[in-house]
Structure 1
Amino acid sequence: MPSKPPYKDPNESTRVRTVDLLERMTRREKVGQLVGMHVGSFTDTRKRATETTAITDVEVAIRDYYIGSVSPFGTGISKYNQVSVAGRIANRLQRVAMNETRLGIPLLVAVDAIHGHANIERSTVFPQNLGMAATWNPDIVKRAARVTAAEMSATGANQNYSPTADIARDPRWGRTYETYGESTTLVEEFVSAEIRGLQGDDLDDPTAVAATVKHYPASSGPTRGEDTAPIDVSPETLWRVYLPPFERAVSEGVAGVMPAYNAIGNQPAHSSKYYLDEVLRKQLKFGGVVCSDWLGIRMLADRHQVAASLRDAVDLATDASLDIASVGGPEHAQLLYDLVEKGTVSEERLDESTYRVLELKFELGLFDDPYVPPKLASETVGSSEHRAVARDAASESVTLLQNRNDVLPLNGEDDVFVTGPNADSIDNLLGGWTVYGVDDSQGQTIYGGLVSASGPEMTVDYETGIVSDVTLQPDEIAERAAAADTAIVVLGEPWYLHEFGPKSITDSSSGFPTRNQLKLPDVQKELLETVCETGTPVVLLVITGRPLVLTDVVDQVSGLLVGFFPGIEGGGAIADILLGRTNPSGRLPISFPRTIGDLPVRHDWLPHPSPIGSQEHLPSYNPLFEFGYGLSYTEFTYKSLEVSDRRVLADDGLSVEVTVTNTGNRSGTETVQLFGQHLQSSVVTPVRELLAFTKIDIAPGETETALFELDSEDLAVVRPDGSRVVESVPFELYVNELSREITIR
């Protein structure tokens, strides 16, 4: 009996197996490993159109072109997003790759699992990333990522196009909710936690998946706030603000990187040798797989116009060090093959990318067993244990911004009136990158959650209030609101993707949401005014994917809560907060502007001259609600801020202790946020930057201490070339109203 070739021997090292397989492959087989293929139609998220790419098309491409990566489900455009179907589809395609090709190379099965495996029906859907960031708790993100990985792997998926490492710099951008907020430090910590959760302790763990960090090197500060528009950014800001989360991802061993659709300056990320090769490969030392955003290569010709044809676009992207064309299909495969045949793309360059893809597949254990047990998905996806993690995340994410006259928590004997377009919608609790049209049996809406959680002494009355951008029966709404002890008005944004689409789902006569409008639409404000004019105390609950301008409504209401698309358990979690069963602990990961004209509004703004006096300038940072803000049902008092040494050597670390007392009558969780500022430096630095944070639980009347350990990196100045230098300058630390100046020597 002939012995196994080394690449099929699980006892051999990954390197030995990868080299052996690469040497056996033909040029056509190598090219195939660098090409992916989707199932479904790009034009219809509701799946009503004839599918442009069918499962049988993918099977043919695997046999004929050796396609190495597929996205047959879990993307929002496939008709195979049912939990009972996905695993069978994955196994079916893996069998073609393993049994009907010469070398039997398994497939990467990639999905968009941005906030849970949410493009699969009945999955556990977590708050959107902006909501997860509002928890200020990286551990809950790691737990959520572990759940996501388990549900993905149970359906046969092994690569996730996540985490998102973008820094939210402009709330007009329609993908703000996909980010972990406006602070580089906050984003770094959450990206790190998500990668560790997705990839587990080792990629060959059956429940581990390959994380793919995106959108490198920057996509979240586009011109005009328009999705995929160019990023016009200085080198210093790129290195100080945008790149650190990607550096952190690489240090955590992230498996993949996805470039942005955008051009950085005049260089499209998908074809930039500087960003993909010089910075990512050489400076950041990334040795993993670079996967295109779905249409990123084609857009080099169609939209950026830096390539004369798709053939030229394939050449540019390959030369820049991109590995996988995520949905290139047979057309891309043939073009790349021809480029290698003609010597335009070298065999060496082809081998580099093929090696990286094969290496990842070996690390994932796919060559040894790429299949999933048929019943595993139904047993795993949306399990009660997983939903409990989503409930914890939603509970920690909801943020209390106003509580006049202690309108919250509600009295258990109150008569409550609930209204608003987001009060009884599960889809609008979930937001985009989720199967649309979620069955009501899968979760509770805010209204449903309040009814379920209320006791026999509380009555909960409900009226939709708005249908098709029209206020329904305002006189009846006013009458029912006037009869209540408290009114809960649930407004905000609906489900959307990218540039607030697709229109087949989001189209409305109000034109909301859109990037040129951050105020609530008139019809929502009219509903709120109708309720407020009754004199009944009103709690405004805003469900949204980004900061909205609430300046014109905040004074009308007694209470204000914000949930950034809080997920499948959001209804029940919000009900518990309204009733006081959960003490809110969310804190804003992003600033809320007073007007759209104030943008950009960022806590880490750069100081600047005032030639005719500062009194002639409007404040540089004067948000309605500032970064890090959030209230509790109890009160916290900061007692002291102590440092281990007021004079710090450049190479030494620094210990910081902060004492906090709960001066209220409820147990609560406080987020202690440590900021810093260079009082002098060789380059202009922000007026304050978040250095570190931690959450502490404090019982009534008790005092707890938060300890921070800073190293030289935390005190460094970032120069335009990306270098970090610790300078001998005065430096100030801030926590709440406390501050301490230190000297770096």
Structure 2
Amino acid sequence: MARHRVDGPERTVRDPDAIVDELTLAEKVGQLVGTWVGSMGEDVTLEDAKTMIGEDDLGIVAAFGIGVSWFHDPARLAQVANELQRTAVEETDHGIPLLLPVDAVHGHGYVDHAAVFPHGLGLAATRDPTLARTMGRVTATEMRATGATVDYGPTGDVVRDPRWGRTFETFGESPLLCRRFAASTVRGLEAEDGDRVAATIKHFPAYGDPTGGEDTGAVECGPATLHRDYLPPFEAAIEAGASLVMPCYNAVNGDPAHGSEYLLTELLRERLGFDGAVVSDWGGVDHLHEDHGVTTDRRDSARRTITAGLDAISIGGREYATHLQDLVERGELREQRIDEAVRRLVSLKIDLGLFDDPYVDVDAAPETVGADDHRDAALEAARTSQTLLKNEGVLPLESDIDELLVAGPNADSLRNQLGGWSVQDPDPDAGTTLLEGVESVVDEGTTVRHERGAGITGPDDVDAAVEAAADADAAVVALGENWYYHEFGPQEVTGATGEFPTRTELGLPDAQRTLLERIQATGTPTVLVLITGRPLAIEWAADELPAILMSYYPGSEGGTAIAETLFGEHNPSGRLPITVPRSAGHLPAHFDQLAHPRPIGDDEHPPSDPLFEFGHGLSYTEFDIREFDVEEPTIGPGDDVAVSATVANVGDRAGRRAVDIFLRDDVASRVRPVREHVAFDAATLEAGESTSLELAIPNRALAVTAPDGRRTVEPGTFTLFCDEHSATVEVVSDR
């Protein structure tokens, strides 16, 4: 009989120490490992998972909400969750319920009809962290309805190389944006007054700058850079209440994160104060012996990772449980370390209420997943993310236009619109494509003609598209990237390895560019819509086309959001969260590079101006920043900085204007970035209105970061920038 069987609706206070003390060693190590259900090299069936729970005491099962799962229907997911929990609670001696993790980085995306939000890059373009919090709450509610309890998100990685295949998951290249949006997402997921799930901030500490942009490539960065640029999002997420931390796959300065005692114990626990559980990324433990070459085999990898500070091997299965038990019995791994890890996981299960009631209402799941208010929230996020890169008077289009061509591989592809970490074959009614959105907003008398013209990499009757463009009054061409994850895979979905999208190419492939050039050559006003996970180098388009809209991966409601923006029902207000380079050869292009000399003169260095800079974004109205002031021009070394920016809508329609504030330390003891993003806000104004935005720049933004992570605000002058305006503040030591 289960020793810790759930009691029903009444919550009981439970002592994790007492629970751990009653477990056998075999039961303890079982709690530290998990399995999946699905097909990934080998098939693991639901019955296989139940056998491992019953015989090996596994405490974690990723049965759905993942790319390898066979289950996507909400009701079926709830049934699977209940079946697994019933096995753990009623058919084991200990009766400890399971953690059921999912990849839900932009909504419960691997579930049919879920509300899928824009991916992180698009969300950060909104400059509105409350939308990230809303996404977190909606995601948690839909997860809980299906029985999922752990979200392997959000992503806290700061992008330094946009060739990287996981760029779209991040909140961009600004440590500030990554910090604010990651923390807000955590607060939504972990909300005590909502359907709380455990958030996992990942991928600690520095996944976003892999060598050559190759996924999981080695990261080489100085300690000051690590503390200044990469750690702040993790610090903020931990402060916001993230229950779990996931290490990156990479070796950081030669130290594989999954097996690094320095990173997982000294830095994460002792320096950042994290007291929750550390869970492996899927193959992260195996990589130590298979790829990094720092251990000999699985047993050795188990020893090193758990000793380093890892608490759970997420898909270790019975083999890793056996290794952990043997390591303890042979004295190579302290049982106290096992107890510590189990205690963290059991405490989380208690906090999530799983000991009180781990089961869900199967009938309610389909009603909750994709509920109207959830999709409305996803639509609002998609609208606010739309970023107008260029407009020479073509946009907005008139709803009574006579004839419109909608072309391109992403014009009618819900899969590509969702982006990776989502269902690969979404039902047609699970969202709205761009074509469907356009058809819904134009007048009845408008003829909308759809000719694909090209796939992602190959032509598709381009002549028909060109002929239709010649007859149309305007053409909307939706280009960009398809569904992928990690290193632009898997091949059966995205195409052969090395074909676009690929880290060796940031430009549009020939088939897409040919389609765009030939449509533009007809003389018909042409609007380029980019549905993409990375900032593509589109120099020809930027020079030759009258209008370009950056839509990122906008999610299930993206087609409506794009159409409303094209036709002026929504006034775009997104601002780029990442720099758009002129080519891959112009990298690195991020705005906050370190200052450096030019020994033989500035004119000997070719200009490296980006195609579109970080923070760029246009509107259908005109805004002026009329004043930019520092409240106190002289402050002490422990003070924050208060600034104000007066924003005026001098155009003829309502709109929203986001502002970014940057800082330069004029003289510092260490080399600092030429610009650092230190604050942002936004104002929504009617035509003719103005307002003053009051922004607080935290004291830490002024600080020089030392290699050991110490932050020191030094006396001196700092210059602050807001658009074309600047102001100075002086720090004095005797104030």
Quote how far apart the aligned CAs of 1:25 are.
0.9
% identity of equivalent residues:
45
Do residues 163 (structure 1) and 151 (structure 2) align? no
Quote how far apart the aligned CAs of 1:518 are.
0.5
Which letter does structure 2 place at the counterpart of 1:37? T
Specify the alignment match of 1:35 in structure 2.
33
Do residues 25 (structure 1) and 16 (structure 2) align? no
Could you tell me which of 135, 157, 171 is aligned with 1:180?
A: 171
Specify the alignment match of 1:366 in structure 2.
354
Specify the alignment match of 2:70 in structure 1.
79
Equivalents in 2 of 1:5, 1:124: separation in Å?
36
Specify the alignment match of 2:454 in structure 1.
466
Deviations 1:71-126 (A, max 9, x none): 01110111122212001000001001101111210000000001100011111111
Specify the alignment match of 2:605 in structure 1.
617
Q: Is this contact kept in 1: 2:432–2:559, CA < 8 A?
A: yes
Q: Is this contact kept in 1: 2:646–2:690, CA < 8 A?
A: yes
Quote how far apart the aligned CAs of 1:605 are.
1.1
Which ranges of structure 1 fall in alignment gaps of 5 or more residues?
Answer: 44-50
Matches within 5 A, 1:355-504: 355-410=343-398, 412-467=400-455, 469-504=457-492
Quote how far apart the aligned CAs of 1:8 are.
7.2
Equivalents in 2 of 1:357, 1:611: separation in Å?
56
Specify the alignment match of 1:47 in structure 2.
none
Matches within 5 A, 1:629-644: 629-644=616-631
Quote how far apart the aligned CAs of 1:433 are.
0.4
Specify the alignment match of 1:200 in structure 2.
191
Equivalents in 2 of 1:251, 1:721: separation in Å?
21
Q: Which runs of 4+ in 1 moved over 4 A?
A: 4-14
Quote how far apart the aligned CAs of 1:473 are.
3.7
Specify the alignment match of 2:221 in structure 1.
233
Which letter does structure 1 place at the counterpart of 2:36? H
2:726 partner SS: strand
Q: Is this contact kept in 2: 1:591–1:623, CA < 8 A?
A: yes
Equivalents in 2 of 1:469, 1:708: separation in Å?
45
Change (3 A) 1:472 1:80: closer
Give the stretch that moved more between structures: 402-411 or 285-294. 402-411
Which letter does structure 2 place at the counterpart of 1:709? A
Matches within 5 A, 1:23-422: 23-43=21-41, 52-201=43-192, 207-410=195-398, 412-422=400-410
Equivalents in 2 of 1:139, 1:12: separation in Å?
34
Could you tell me which of 662, 666, 669 is aligned with 1:679?
A: 666
Equivalents in 1 of 2:449, 2:57: separation in Å?
59
Specify the alignment match of 2:707 in structure 1.
720
Q: Is this contact kept in 2: 1:431–1:494, CA < 8 A?
A: yes
Equivalents in 2 of 1:597, 1:136: separation in Å?
29
Quote how far apart the aligned CAs of 1:412 are.
2.7
Q: Is this contact kept in 2: 1:408–1:559, CA < 8 A?
A: no
Equivalents in 2 of 1:69, 1:208: separation in Å?
18
2:656 partner SS: strand
Specify the alignment match of 1:46 in structure 2.
none
Quote how far apart the aligned CAs of 1:409 are.
3.4
Quote how far apart the aligned CAs of 1:632 are.
0.4
Quote how far apart the aligned CAs of 1:509 are.
9.7
Deviations 1:435-458 (A, max 9, x none): 101121222211111011111232
Which letter does structure 2 place at the counterpart of 1:647? T
Quote how far apart the aligned CAs of 1:11 are.
6.6
Quote how far apart the aligned CAs of 1:34 are.
0.5
Equivalents in 2 of 1:421, 1:151: separation in Å?
30
Which letter does structure 2 place at the counterpart of 1:155? T
Deviations 1:162-182 (A, max 9, x none): 010000111110000010000
Equivalents in 2 of 1:285, 1:737: separation in Å?
40
Q: Is this contact kept in 1: 2:395–2:567, CA < 8 A?
A: no
Deviations 1:179-211 (A, max 9, x none): 000000010000010000001026xx5x11000
Do residues 557 (structure 1) and 545 (structure 2) align? yes
Q: What TM-score, normalized to structure 1?
A: 0.96
Equivalents in 1 of 2:143, 2:554: separation in Å?
20
2:362 partner SS: coil
Deviations 1:273-315 (A, max 9, x none): 0000000010101100000000100111111110111100000
Which letter does structure 2 place at the counterpart of 1:707? E
Deviations 1:476-515 (A, max 9, x none): 3222211111111111101011000101111159811100
Equivalents in 2 of 1:282, 1:542: separation in Å?
44
Which letter does structure 2 place at the counterpart of 1:530? R
Q: What TM-score, normalized to structure 2?
A: 0.97
Equivalents in 1 of 2:659, 2:485: separation in Å?
33
Which ranges of structure 2 fall in alignment gaps of 5 or more residues?
Answer: none
Specify the alignment match of 1:596 in structure 2.
584
Quote how far apart the aligned CAs of 1:555 are.
1.9
Equivalents in 1 of 2:622, 2:547: separation in Å?
17
Equivalents in 1 of 2:456, 2:601: separation in Å?
50
Equivalents in 1 of 2:311, 2:515: separation in Å?
52
Q: Is this contact kept in 1: 2:451–2:464, CA < 8 A?
A: no
Q: Is this contact kept in 1: 2:452–2:461, CA < 8 A?
A: no
Q: Is this contact kept in 1: 2:7–2:357, CA < 8 A?
A: no
Q: Is this contact kept in 2: 1:409–1:577, CA < 8 A?
A: no
Which letter does structure 2 place at the counterpart of 1:613? G
1:227 partner SS: coil
Which letter does structure 1 place at the counterpart of 2:56? Y
Specify the alignment match of 2:533 in structure 1.
545
Quote how far apart the aligned CAs of 1:552 are.
2.1
Equivalents in 1 of 2:496, 2:437: separation in Å?
27
Equivalents in 2 of 1:653, 1:104: separation in Å?
51
Q: Is this contact kept in 1: 2:643–2:696, CA < 8 A?
A: yes
2:65 partner SS: coil
Equivalents in 2 of 1:319, 1:64: separation in Å?
25
Specify the alignment match of 1:48 in structure 2.
none
Deviations 1:12-66 (A, max 9, x none): 655xx111111111111111110111011224xxxxxxx6111111111111111
Which letter does structure 1 place at the counterpart of 2:624? T
1:28 partner SS: helix
Deviations 1:575-597 (A, max 9, x none): 11111000011110000001111
Equivalents in 2 of 1:523, 1:345: separation in Å?
57
Give the stretch that moved more between structures: 728-737 or 413-422. 413-422
Equivalents in 2 of 1:111, 1:470: separation in Å?
34
Specify the alignment match of 1:691 in structure 2.
678
- Alignment: residue pair count: 730
